[in-house]
Amino acid sequence: MDISAKLDELAKLIEDARAMPMSASCIINRAEVLEAIEGVRGSLPSELNVARSVLKDRSAVVEEGRLEAQRIVDEAEAERYKLVSRTEVVKEATREAERLIAAAQSETDRMRVEVDDYVDAKLANFEIILRRTLDAVEHGRNKIHGRHSELEALSDSQAEAEPLPG
């Protein structure tokens, strides 16, 4: 029997006791009351043990809940840190990619100018060589025309100087 039932039994003994006339007192059977009190006393250690167990379990459950809550918070913090880190890594990678693209574009522009200058210098040199070649060709042609003119003049002068047979 649990302590609550034993206390109910003790209360029933007192309620059912014969009342003293003109008084709030009553006559109760001492042996029955003492036996009920002993029953309550006997139940107290087991009830206290149950109460202690419940309190201990409550403390353990509360501690377990607190530890679980802390674990969840720690995991959330770790996940937040990872996400922030990933975000920072992505931002840094994007900045680095943009920097590399800009550097590559700058290098490409510089190389294009160098190549254009090189090609222009080669073309200018080729132009000079072609002009000299053209001048030499023109000079050669003029020389040939000059010889032909001299030969014609010489032929004409010889033809005038020589009488024709006949």
**Per-residue pLDDT tens for 77-135?**
999 888 888 888 888 899 999 999 999 999 999 999 999 999 999 999 999 999 999 99
Cα(143)–Cα(150) distance, integer angstroms: 10
For 48-83, b/e burial (b = at least 16 CB within 10 A) is: eeeeeeeeeeeeeeeeeeeeeeeeeeeeeeeeeeee
Q: Which pLDDT score is estimated for 159? A: 66
E strands, the chain, in order: 18-19, 26-27
pLDDT at 5 over 80: yes
Whether the CB-CB separation of 17 and 28 falls below 8 Å is answered with yes
Q: Which pLDDT score is estimated for 151? A: 74
The sign of the CA dihedral 98, 100, 104, 110 is positive
Q: Which pLDDT score is estimated for 110? A: 95
pLDDT at 162 over 70: no
Indicate the pLDDT class of residue 146, thresholds 50, 70 and 90.
confident
pLDDT digits (tens, 9 = 90+) for 6-64: 888 888 988 888 888 888 888 888 898 888 888 888 777 777 777 778 777 787 888 88
Q: Which of 27, 4, 24, 1 is nearest to 14 (CA)?
A: 27
